[in-house]
Amino acid sequence: MDKQKFEVLIGDVFAVKLPDGRFGAIRIAKHHQELGSYLVITTPYIGEELPVIENNCLTYILRQNRFFYKNNRALVWVDGEPPRDLIYIGNLPLAEKEKAIICNSFCEQWDRIGIEVYHEWRWENDQENFIKEVQEEQKNEEEENRNIAQVPKKMMHDEEFWSIISLLNSNGNGREDILEPAVIALSKMSVKDIKEFEEALSYKLYLLDTREHAKNIGEYSYTEDNPINFSVDLFLYIRCAVVAEGQQNFERTLKNPEMMNKNRTFEPLLSIASYAYATRMKKDFEYTSGCSYETFSNIAGWKG
């Protein structure tokens, strides 16, 4: 980040270094101070040189069409402050329609932000090799997860856990409105309770991480003959929706994989504990659950 740029403002544009050495660009759309997160737009800019603030590309949102994407906008909420290695380009005030943007996507890591433009470029210009690389990464991820012991730590009791989940505001306008009641309730509990909530959530998502559940998520279901159609992230977000819809739905779906949500996601569920902790402690939440909710972590569930 530019040495003169310490305070991040709405409309700030930063360049990001892409894997092939070129540059992409992101733009700050919103800042939720209490939750300590930013809504970040990835622009369509990609080039050998740093963008200039006058470049018209910087006012647009990248549209994504790789794999399961269907013209989706590249914007996401990110926890924490932007890293200092971002390169400040300038500021482009948001138009009124941009200020009204609603986004329910969430990302925990700033180092994954802005790379979408590179992935889209690969999809359009080097699709065959790109698909092979993604398949190889997915295979390696499966192998890595097989070597990690998955043992749950102490979890919040079900009654308390589901009471917090029930506070999610399904009629909310955007991620903050949806999560706020649950986040506020959890933030009033102890740090120990927040960790136990995260552990319980991770374990429930882990239990849904099975081959049979993955085969029943609709258009992008897992199939043996075309695994590239399957997205590990999408499957996780669909599992989140199962939990977000309450205890009865979770228990029914766990026993009956064919009742799995079809293309319905709720990624923001993953951020409840981190937001509650940030609200209570005014710092980032650092906790590793005993059971990972990442796809392919439940080895027993993927056997056969």
Band of the pLDDT at 280, cuts 50, 70, 90?
A: very high
Same domain, 122 and 25: yes
Number of domains in the chain: 2
- Answer yes or no: is pLDDT of 4 > 50: no
Same domain, 29 and 93: yes
Which of 103, 126, 149 finishes a domain? 126
168-200: pLDDT as tens digits? 987 766 777 889 999 999 999 999 999 999 999
Overall pTM surpassing 0.85 (yes/no): no
Same domain, 142 and 101: no
Domain extent, residue 285, equals 135-302
Is residue 7, in this structure, part of any structural domain at all?
no
Same domain, 182 and 264: yes
Query: 95-99, 148-152, 250-254: which range is least confident on average?
Result: 148-152
Same domain, 155 and 267: yes
What is the per-residue DSSP string for the chain?
--TT--S--TTEEEEEE-TTS-EEEEEEEEEETTTTEEEEEEEEEEESSPPPTT-GGGGSPPEE-STT-SSEE-EEEEESPPPTTSEEEEE-PPPHHHHT-----EES-GGGTTTHHHHHHHHHHSHHHHHHHHHHHHHHHHHHHHTS---------HHHHHHHHTT--TT-SSHHHHHHHHHHHHHTS-HHHHHHHHHHHHHHHHHT-SHHHHTTSSTT---SS-GGG--HHHHHHHHHHHHHT-HHHHHHHHH-GGGS-SS---GGGGGHHHHHHHHHHSS------SS--STT--TGGG--
Q: What percent of the chain has pLDDT over 90?
A: 65
106-140: pLDDT as tens digits? 876 898 899 999 999 999 999 999 999 988 887 88
Is residue 2, in this structure, part of any structural domain at all?
no
Band of the pLDDT at 36, cuts 50, 70, 90?
A: confident
Band of the pLDDT at 295, cuts 50, 70, 90?
A: very high
66-94: pLDDT as tens digits? 988 889 999 999 888 888 888 999 999 99
Same domain, 149 and 115: no
Same domain, 22 and 70: yes
